[in-house]
Structure 1
Amino acid sequence: MEKKFPEIETSRLILRKVKSDDKESMYKYLSDEDVVKHMGLFPYKTAEEVMDEINWYDSIYKEGTGIRWGITEKGKNEVIGSCGFLNMKRQHFRAEIGFELNKEYWSQGIAGEAISAVLQYGFQSLGLERIEALIEPTNRSSQKLVEKYGFIKEGLLRHYEFTCGKFDDLLMYSILKEDLVGIFGE
């Protein structure tokens, strides 16, 4: 990983490193059951608990197993969601993408704008060949979103994770670098 945390700018957004000062704004959406219900998390009960999430972002970056950006609107410093990579396997040139967004910002194209920028960064700057998205079958909005950006549904992973006291099935989606030839000028 690069020494300095990379910042990504889009037409409406700044994707940046999340800091401890962001715990209050992150608490607004990580305490919302509608936002976290497909993330394998229980809603956070306090802003202090959100530090666990921020510390996890720091640890995956330092370990080189992922990178997670806070999503902010240009001209505003409030984190309204996050997007990035986890379970990065450098030797296999692959990673899993994850994202969530404050419910107040749903259906405005913000998640798609962030995902598009993160995909571009993953393929161009990190040299990834494959990016995966693991999505619960009941999470139709996330399925539609990744399909819009070129992900292909590969199949169902039965009882793939144990979260929140239950086994979860997950749909495996992927996009390959070659799927995007021409989109990012490659």
Structure 2
Amino acid sequence: MEKVLQDFPVLETERLILRQIRKTDARSMLKYLSDKDVMEHYGLLPFQTEEEALDEIAWYDSIFAEKTGIRWGITIKGVDEVIGSFGFLNYVAQHSRSQIGYELDKQYWGKGIASEAIEAILEYGFGEMNLQRIEALIEPPNVASCKLVERKAFIKEGLLRSYEFNGKKFDDLYMYSLLKSDYESM
């Protein structure tokens, strides 16, 4: 039996279950994390082995255990296969802020899955975590992600130049934010 981290919250939407990612999910994760299109704006090179997916799962477990983040596996109700992940990272309790990050299997792009998942994540972040500010760092060419957060009322604050090394080059990132007061007035 796999170890389940204590008090890991499960989120449910109309079509989705967002749950803890387990080691047994490594193979389904590798399917999308090895896709160059999915990984194009992820900040890492495409994965090549199941071991790399297991390392990613270990990182998800560590940020939850250390209380610096939480990453949910996205599953379609009735199909317990992880098709992406969504969650918080770089959580700073003192300042009540965190960043969001996500990726989704290409076959689910354009179907409203990310939009549905982000709504659950924002509700959890502002409600359960009592965040004041949620940030999204997005590469300028990642138009779909920019549109996603803009539809959810995130404000583009500026450009962070050469902010992240993706394994081949340094990337610029847009800084977006959504404040609790903005979210509550939506």
TM-score range, shorter chain: over 0.9
Aligned-pair distance for 1:180?
1.4
Distance across 2 between alignment mates of 1:166 and 1:156: 17
Equivalent in the alignment of 1:178: 181
Equivalent in the alignment of 2:171: 168
Distance across 1 between alignment mates of 2:76 and 2:164: 33
Long gaps (5+) in structure 1: none
Q: Find out whether 1:20 has 2:23 as its counterpart.
A: yes
Aligned-pair distance for 1:113?
0.4
Distance across 2 between alignment mates of 1:180 and 1:45: 39
Aligned-pair distance for 1:163?
2.3
Matches for 1:11-160 after TM superposition, within 5 Å: 11-160=14-163
Distance across 1 between alignment mates of 2:185 and 2:67: 28
Structure 1: 4+ residue segments shifted above 2 A: none
Aligned-pair distance for 1:182?
4.6
The secondary structure found in structure 1 opposite 2:80 is coil
Distance across 2 between alignment mates of 1:76 and 1:182: 35
What TM-score does the superposition give when structure 2 sets the normalisation length? 0.95
Aligned-pair distance for 1:167?
1.2
Distance across 1 between alignment mates of 2:66 and 2:168: 28
Residue by residue over 1:25-69, the C-alpha shift from the partner in whole angstroms, topping out at 9 and shown as x without a partner, is 111100000001101111111222200110000000001000000
Aligned-pair distance for 1:4?
1.0
User: Retained in 1: the 8 A contact 2:45–2:166?
Assistant: no
The secondary structure found in structure 1 opposite 2:25 is helix
What TM-score does the superposition give when structure 1 sets the normalisation length? 0.95
